[in-house]
Amino acid sequence: MVSNLFQSGGTGLPPVELLSLSCARNIRVKLLRTDLIHPLVSGNKWYKLKYNLLAAQDQGYPRVISFGGAYSNHIHALAWAGFNMGLETVGIIRGEPEYAENPTLRDCQRWGMKLHFVDRKTYRRRSDAEYLQQLLEVVGPGYIVPEGGSNRLAVKGVAELAEALCSSESPDYILLAAGTGGTTAGFAAGVADGIRVLSVPVLKQGEFLRDDIARLLAESGVADRHNWQLDLEGHFGGYGRVCADVRSCIERFGLQYKLPLDPIYTAKLMLRLEQLLAEEYFPSGSEVMVVHTGGLQGARSLLV
């Protein structure tokens, strides 16, 4: 079955909604709801996977191989998209085989993904050419997509979203969560001149993302307009840490704004947004476009 998941005219621009936060005062806050574009390939995943999977299909690869943690949104979206496009998928998963029973990885297996568990030390070699060669000998030849899907083709897909957004909206800031930096690089590449991209790593010591984002832009052949920056204060304890503030943020936004958030990325982003508004970080009269990048499938395991 070769489907046209990514060829059916794309998704158009996801809904843009006004978010009436009481703490926003004279800042206009809008939400770009990429979480609503597809029930399973949701949020930034759609844009990061699109050109990668089309390339794998066009180049006749039998399978797509990628990397992620046991609750990875990227692995989950890849498994479904691959299944839908008739591509085999292999997930190289950091951690023990017992994770295979969690809801994320159960879905992936249901969609035919083969799981290959590796310890943390091995997982750290995920970009090492020699290791990748050995891996292909074990799992079979395939098209390798890096962790989080972040590469030049992901930047291309996200940049298209940013361009589409800027054809109908003119925010002063784009605010988004970062894990591997691919989505940030895509927005930095695609937004109109004058728009600042403020990227909030959800992991501690996220400074390393500066180099990664600059490298992704260079690999994409995009001149760095220095229109982006990192905000390192939004990790709330570090990657995968779900503190009480994150839990209450999810509850509050659900009740007050009917806005579903995930604990790893988007709830932390909203908490950081509220802090930035309280600190009057944004100049008076600015408009901030907050990107809801999805990730809701992960909440099933992480909020129990």
Q: Contact region for ligand PLP (CB under 6 A) — 3-11, 15-23, 163-171, 175-183?
A: 175-183
3-state DSSP percent of the chain in helix, strand and coil, to 5: 45, 15, 40
Residue 196 contacts residue 162 (beta carbons within 8 Å): no
If one counts every other C-beta atom within 10 angstroms of the C-beta of residue 150, the result is 27
From candidates 14, 91, 142, 148, binder to ligand PLP by CB under 6 A = 148
Q: What is the phi-psi region of residue 51: left when phi exceeds 0, alpha when psi lies from -120 to 50, beta otherwise?
A: alpha
Across the strands, what pairs with 107? Answer: none
Taking CB atoms, the residue at the shortest distance from ligand PLP is 295
- 177 makes contact with ligand PLP (CB under 6 A): yes
Query: Is there binding between residue 69 and ligand PLP (CB under 6 A)?
Result: no
Query: Mapping DSSP to helix (H, G, I), strand (E, B) and coil, where does residue 143 land?
Result: strand
Question: Measured from the CB of residue 149, what is the shortest distance to ligand PLP in angstroms?
Answer: 7
Q: Comparing C-alpha atoms, which of 38, 44, 113, 17 is closest to residue 264? A: 44
Q: Strand 63-68 to strand 28-33: parallel, antiparallel, or no bridges (unpaired)?
A: unpaired
Q: Is 294 in the site for ligand PLP (CB under 6 A)?
A: yes
Q: How crowded is residue 253: how many other Cβ atoms within 10 Å of its Cβ? A: 19
User: Which one among 80, 117, 265, 282 touches ligand PLP, defined by CB under 6 A?
Assistant: 265
Binding window for ligand PLP (CB under 6 A); candidates: 54-62, 118-126, 135-143, 179-187: 179-187
Cβ closest to ligand PLP, residue 177 vs residue 189: 177
| Nearest approach, Cβ of residue 214 and ligand PLP (Å) | 14
Q: How far is 158 from 49, CA to CA, in rounded Å?
A: 10
Q: Work out which of 33, 38, 50, 74 binds ligand PLP, going by CB under 6 A.
A: 74
Say whether residue 178 binds ligand PLP (CB under 6 A).
yes
Residue 98: φ, ψ to 5°: -60, -25
Report how many residues bind ligand PLP under the rule CB under 6 A. 19
- Minimum distance between the CB of residue 70 and ligand PLP, rounded to whole angstroms? 14
Cβ contacts of residue 194 below 8 Å, gap of 6+?
172
Based on the shown chain and the rule CB under 6 A, indicate whether residue 182 belongs to the binding site for ligand PLP: yes
Task: Say if strands 16-18 and 28-33 run parallel, antiparallel, or are unpaired.
Answer: antiparallel
Task: Please report how close the Cβ of residue 254 comes to ligand PLP at its closest, in angstroms.
Answer: 16
Residue 185: CB minimum distance to ligand PLP, A: 8
What is the rounded CA–CA span in Å between residue 47 and residue 85?
16
Contact residue for ligand PLP among 89, 151, 183, 297 (CB under 6 A): 183
Under the rule (CB under 6 A), what is the footprint of ligand PLP?
43-44, 73-74, 148, 150, 177-184, 262, 265, 293-295
